Amino acid sequence: MADSERSCRHCGRAVGETTHGRATYAVDAFALHTGETEDAVFRRADGDEVPYRRLVRPVLLLTCADCYADAARRGRHETWTFPLD
């Protein structure tokens, strides 16, 4: 991902890579996988069918650690990931 694309989808601030120390690490952003879905059925070898949502148009969104920690913004991400039909 190019540096110009590394900004938070919520607030727009530039985000950095995760940094690793000797015994710690610091996360500046999270990659959220979302996109358009459709109903699908998984057929097991024993004949059972299990319904699920298949991702048909994947989208990768970045959110900074501050926005991800905010419950209201995290709730907004859930509506992107799991749209209410």
Question: What does residue 48 show for φ and ψ, rounded to 5 degrees?
Answer: -65, 150
Is residue 80's pLDDT more than 80?
no
Is residue 79's pLDDT more than 70?
no
pLDDT at 47: 83
Is residue 82's pLDDT more than 70?
no
Yes or no: say if 64 and 8 are a contact pair by the CB < 8 Å rule: yes
- The answer to pTM > 0.75 is no
- Rounded CA-CA distance 6/25 in Å is 19
Question: What does residue 36 show for φ and ψ, rounded to 5 degrees?
Answer: -70, 135
Residues 62, 36, 78, CA angle at the centre, nearest 5°?
55
